[in-house]
Structure 1
């Protein structure tokens, strides 16, 4: 018997739905025609799962907005409330949305969503069906990041700008600057890095809070000993665009960037040379491929030392191990090694 949902496209957001086994169960129950994955760390979890999916680095609203077939969003929020809020935000950017929130076992039919599809999914999964209206009030130059847990990191365009002190963080852009209005203990260096990349249009910026993934990374087999060295400077979310088949290693600049690059590259067996200064926010479970080395700057910022390495060292290496050894000689007396996974 053909499933009544066999013609749908399932769009999965975030790694948690894969790590918790939700995606595999929903594929078995719904038999979707296609499964698309939205987000960087979701892609890592999806690839580790081995499920038949297609990965994209686009946001869920962009992916869903481009689909002309029947479609639904799958998400597992860090709490049921944050999951509901996420669905409301996505729904506010679309004409209608069917949203499967696995953290609470709920199928939301937002706004003018496909009620027949929502009912079919609720019946097949046994989830509760809730019809809801999104209420995304938009103010020019102001952005609310809702569903935060006090104490967790807050991101704008992949850069940590501070720590949440309330459930809602309010940001405002004015006079060519970005400031925290409320709910945030700001990280000045994070704002500097964000503005250095160009003042974001805050209403359209990618904003989130909390860990980017709570599960530990997978481990892959190392394939290349020499080749190109990719440079990722405080923008870990751009990594997938940089690691082609010719890459033998990654130079990562920044504590959180190094953690994200190490986590993702562990899956591919690609070693990382990380330059940090000790201001990380613990946004992802640590993990590194064999051959990885992380150094902490003894005086100054990781930005300056990392850019110096990128400028003075050849980014084509016959041997990753030799490149690391020479780089450590160049930095002698200015850094200390905090992680060393080079093979004996």
Structure 2
């Protein structure tokens, strides 16, 4: 029996129900093994209760997932639901070209849309692609046409000395621009080019740079960085609440594990066994709260009202507290909390959450009188 590896990328392919539909279809052709490529789809897989069908335990880039499955599969199918055919095709083009060896790769893109396509990135898959396209009522797109279009439009990175220019495909005006999970600016046109000098983002042509985000990002490899635009998750969904190991504890009497998080780009799922998480920054707080809601883990969010809204709808766990400060003060207060309460470590143990909250408020009130407490 043919062995088919499937890389599931992004939340939209899961939220629309097409991930399940395509997996069932592929099972009629062979033995299917599915893993997540990228990180944003993990919450969608959890909400859809698909952990038994899609492996979400490995934090791999889509190209890494393809390479991993290629070792044990006769072919790999990449399923994605980009916000447009342009972004979807550009995504497939970049992923295919990032793989060390040309994989036997088929892409199914935007299956629920009129412009949805099946792309046989390897010529050996042309006949199989025709079958899949017929089953899903999609058109086949020749990968050479996508490659020509990407090269004609100059999509990708271009290096000149210590300066790198990277053109971003499929951008609409007034969208967030994220680099490695951190918001670094906002688009003002459809033509966006990121510019980095000595590894630091210095300009966004066709957009407005967010200096605070650039500071958080630090030095990057712009050529290989993960670039996203718009919302990280577009669907409005009902979140699924699942038990974590710590939920069985009595949070008022037991030793409690408290974690510190300052970047939304970090692996928030590693914190799912914490009893409480302190988050710094508006977007970090929004994303962390939304994910940790699934595990019933409250947060203490240190924010300053500079929200870019990277998800359509965010949820806050019961028992959470949001502290809003004046602009720019979230990082200052966050650093004080990290050094004075956490002693520079990412985790600590406490005996009482209310006492811990009081200590945080004390640090803030000793530093500034301008803050506002919000409870959910």
The TM-score normalised by the length of structure 1 is 0.88
1:12-68 deviation line (CA, Å, top 9, x unaligned): 111111111111111222225111112222011111111221013221112112322
Change (3 A) 1:272 1:219: farther
Which residue matches 2:222? 202
Conserved 8 A contact 2:264-2:288: no
8 A contact 1:156–1:207 mirrored in 2: yes
Distance in 2 of aligned mates of 1:236 and 1:175: 22
User: Take 1:7 and 1:265, find their aligned partners in 2: how far apart are those partners?
Assistant: 35
Q: Deviation at 1:218? A: 1.1
| 2:25 corresponds to 1:29 | yes
Q: Aligned pair 1:54/2:73, yes or no?
A: no
| Structure 2 unaligned spans of 5+ | 152-156, 343-347
CA distance 1:86–1:113, shift in 2 (3 Å): farther
Give 1:84 deviation, angstroms: 2.1
1:115-154 aligned within 5 A: 115-133=126-144, 134-135=147-148, 137=151, 138-140=157-159, 141-154=164-177
Match of 1:328 in 2: 361
**What is the alpha-carbon distance in structure 2 between the residues aligned to residue 22 and residue 64 of structure 1?**
19
Q: Are 2:13 and 1:12 equivalent residues in the alignment?
A: no
Q: CA deviation at 1:265?
A: 0.5
Change (3 A) 1:256 1:244: closer
Aligned-CA RMSD value: 2.2
Question: For 2:60, what is the secondary structure of its paired residue?
Answer: coil
SS of equivalent residue, structure 1 residue 11: strand
Give distance in 2, aligned partners of 1:62 and 1:273. Answer: 34
1:129-278 equivalences in 2 (<5 Å): 129-133=140-144, 134-135=147-148, 137=151, 138-140=157-159, 141-175=164-198, 177-195=200-218, 199-214=219-234, 215-216=236-237, 218-220=239-241, 223=247, 224=249, 225=251, 227-240=256-269, 242-245=270-273, 247-278=274-305
Offset of residue 299 of structure 1:
6.2
Rate the CA distance shift 1:219–1:207 in 2: closer, same or farther, 3 A.
Answer: same
Query: In 2 relative to 1, CA 148–230 (structure 1 residues): closer, same or farther, beyond 3 Å?
Result: same
Deviation (angstroms), 1:160 = 0.6
Q: Could you state the TM-score of these two structures normalised by the residue count of structure 2?
A: 0.81
Count of residues in Structure 1 that have an aligned counterpart in Structure 2 = 331
Q: Is the 8 A contact 1:157 1:205 kept in 2?
A: yes
Q: 1:239 to 1:98 in 2, by over 3 A?
A: same
How far does residue 217 in structure 1 lie from its aligned partner after superposition?
5.9
Per the TM alignment, residue 167 of structure 1 is displaced from its structure 2 partner at its CA by 2.2
1:115, CA displacement in angstroms?
A: 2.3
For residues 291-313 of structure 1, what are the alpha-carbon distances to aligned partners after superposition, in whole Å with 9 as ceiling and x for unaligned? 11111113642111112112222
Q: Quick one: distance in 2 between partners of 1:279 and 1:80?
A: 31
The answer (yes or no) to whether the contact 2:199–2:221 under 8 Å persists in 1 is no
Mapped pair 1:316 → 2:337:
no
In the alignment, the residues of structure 2 paired with residue 279 and residue 270 of structure 1 have an alpha-carbon distance, to the nearest angstrom, of: 24
* SS in structure 2 of the partner of residue 10 of structure 1: strand
The answer to whether 1:99 aligns with 2:107 is yes
Equivalence for 1:41: 40
**Shift in Å, 1:272:** 1.1
How far apart are 1:262 and its partner, in Å?
0.6
Residues 106-117 of structure 1 aligned to structure 2 (within 5 Å)? 106-110=117-121, 112=123, 114-117=125-128
